[in-house]
A and B are shown apart, each in its own frame.
Chain A
C-alpha cells in the first residue's frame, strides 16, 4: 500500500509555562496519530484547547515534537534549514483563522503573493505578474486587486488572498486552521466551496481544523475527534457523524444545534459533566473520564488505546456496550 502523504505517529507535545511562580507542563498533544492521504480532506474537530492547532502545526513542521514522529511522503521531517526542509516548507502550507493579521498591511496584495514565489524560486521573476493574476482569478478575485492594500479588502476577500498565497507554491498539503471562524455564514460558504473546488481540481490534500461540526461534515472525507491532547475517534466522515461510537464524539454531536427546528427539537443531547480539566494535570487513564457519562473504575486505571471499530478507530474501553446492538451484528 502507498504511504500516506502525511503520517503523524504517537505525537507528544509538552509546553512548559510558568504561572504564579510555578512551572507547569502542559500536555497539549499526547500520543496522537493522524494521517492524510494524497488529495484527501481530513477534518480535525474538538473543543477549544483540545490540541488541534498544536497538532496541525506539528504536521507541517512548525512545532517540534517531544515524542513520536511526523512522516511526510514516508520520510521523517528533515533537519531545520536543510535543503530538504526548504522543499518541505513549500510542499506544506497553512492558512489561519484571522485573515486580518495574516497579511502585511504595508504590502500590496501583489507583493504579498510574490513573496512565496521568491522564497521558493518559483519560475523566473518576469513570470510572476502573470502567475499572480492567475492565482487571483483562481480564488475568484479580480486580478486588478494585486495593486490594492489589504486594508481595502473585506474579511472574505482577504481569506481568498491567503488561499491564493498558499496555492502559489503548488503545495501537496494545506493545513486550514479555523479558516472560516471569523467570517459570516455566506462568506464561509463561499470560502468552503472555493477550497473544496480547488481541492478537487488540483488534488491538494487538506487537514481541515474546525470546531464547526456541520462544516467539517460538509467538506471532509475523514474526520478525527480530539480531546485533551488525544485522538478519541477517527474514521470516514459519514461513519463518524452517523454512527459515533466514542462517548465524547456523541456528546460533541449532541451539543451542535441543527438548523432545522423539527430535527433540533428531537436532537439527542448528552450533557457533559463539569469543565475540561487542566492540561497540565490531565486525568489518569482515559482523559475523558471526568466528564464521561459512562466512566467507571477501569477508566481511571487504564488508558484506552485506539482500536478498530467498523471502518473507524475508537479509544474507549466500553464503546461496544455503549453503542449497543448496532455493533454486535
Chain B
C-alpha cells in the first residue's frame, strides 16, 4: 500500500541576518492512512519545523528547502504546489492542532463562529447544515451539551475543553491527516487523557492518520504505533513503539527514556542527558548529530552515520547500533 504521507530527504534551513540555521537535515519518514505516528525529541530538535514543512507554514522568503526534498501527500507534491493549492489543503485534507488552544481561538468569537469560519472556507453548505455539522463535531470529541456549547466563548471553557474544541474544528472537513504539535503539553493529566482518548477514537473510527509531536515518552507509549526520534534536526531512530521501548538502539533514544519520569516505577533518580543541544549554524555538520553528548562516541562518529535498517521497520543512525548494550547503560 502506498503511504498517505511520504517525506523524503527533507532539509529545511532558515536564513537569518547573520547565518543559515539548519533546522531539519535529511529527514525521511512515512505515515500510512489511519496510522498514529509519534515524533519525539528535546526542544530545538526540529520537530515543529518538520511538521510545519508538511503544510509549508513557514515564511517562504526566509525558508529554504533542500533541493532533494520531497513531501508527497496522497500523490500530491507539496513542495511543488502553488501556494493557492497548499492553502486549500490546510484545514481540509490536513488539519493542525497546536499546544496552546488560546492562541488559536479568538476570544471575541463564540466557538460556533470560529468553527463556522473554517467550514465556510472549505465547504459550500447552507448555514443550517453547517451548524449541524459543527454540533456533531463537538459531540464527537465528548464535549457535553454541544448544542449549547456552540454559543459559548473560549474563556468560558477549561483548557482541556478548549483543546477538544480545536480537535472538533480539526475534523470538520474530514481530514486524512491531523498534525498535532504538543496538543497536551499545557494540560494536566486528566485533561490530557481525555484529549488522547478522543484523538485515538477518531483515528480508529474515521481512519484519520495522526502525526503526534511530543516531548513525553508516556504520550508516545499511550498513543502511537510508530515513533520517530529526532535530534539535532536529524532522524536518529524510527520504528514500532513496542520494539523501540523494549530495546532502543540509538544512545539518544536510550538517554531520553532514562530521563523520563515514570509514575509506575518505584522512586528512582532521573538520569539527565548531560549538556545541551546546540543550534546548527553555517554549513551542515558532517558528524553524528549526537556526538557532543554521547557517552559512546568514538572518532568514527565524526562521520555522520547513515540511517540503516537493523530489523523490520526499525532504522537507526548510529555506527554501533548492533553492539551497544543500551538497556544496561540507561
Contacts and interface: CB of A to CB of B under 8 A. Distances in A.
A138 interface: no
B273 A261 contact: no
Contacts, number: 142
Interface residues of A, number: 47
Interface stretch (B56-64, B66-74, B254-262): B254-262
B263 A214 contact: yes
A131 interface: no
A255 B190 contact: yes
A257 B218 contact: yes
A261 B193 contact: no
Contact of B190 (A218, A251, A263): A251
Contacts of A257: 192-193, 196, 216, 218-219, 221-223
Contacts of A183: 43
| B189, B192, B246, B260 pick with most chain A CB within 10 angstroms | B189
B212 interface: no
Interface in A4-45: none
A183 B266 CA distance: 23
Interface in B205-233: 215-223
A217 B190 contact: no
Nearest to B156: A19
B329 interface: no
Contacts of A192: 261, 270, 272
A130 interface: no
Contact of B270 (A184, A189, A258): A189
B260 A214 contact: yes
Interface in A198-214: 211-214
A329 interface: no
A322 interface: no
Interface in B168-195: 187-193
B242 interface: yes
A148 B92 CA distance: 47
Interface in B272-289: 272-273, 276
Contact of A252 (B189, B246, B266): B189
A240 to B, nearest CB: 11
Contacts of B221: 257-261, 264
A190 B268 CA distance: 14
Nearest to B245: A261
A102 interface: no
Interface residues of B, number: 46
Contact of A256 (B218, B272, B276): B218
A43 B263 CA distance: 13
B245 A260 contact: yes
Nearest to B271: A189
Nearest to B43: A184
Contact of B189 (A190, A238, A256, A264): A256
B262 A217 contact: yes
Nearest to A253: B263
A184 B44 CA distance: 10
A293 to B, nearest CB: 14
Contacts of A256: 189, 193, 218, 263
Given A193-B272, A251-B190, A260 B262 contact: yes
A87 interface: no
B42 interface: yes
Nearest to B270: A189
A82 to B, nearest CB: 38
Nearest to A259: B217
Contact of A212 (B161, B261, B268, B273): B261
Interface in B297-320: none
A118 to B, nearest CB: 31
B121 interface: no
A116 interface: no
A122 to B, nearest CB: 30
30 contacts: A48-B191, A185-B42, A185-B216, A186-B256, A189-B271, A189-B272, A192-B261, A193-B270, A211-B188, A213-B263, A214-B260, A214-B261, A217-B262, A219-B267, A237-B267, A238-B267, A252-B189, A253-B263, A256-B189, A256-B193, A257-B196, A257-B216, A257-B221, A259-B216, A259-B257, A259-B260, A259-B262, A261-B221, A263-B264, A267-B264
Interface of B: 42-43, 144, 158-159, 161, 187-193, 196, 215-223, 241-242, 245-246, 255-257, 259-273, 276
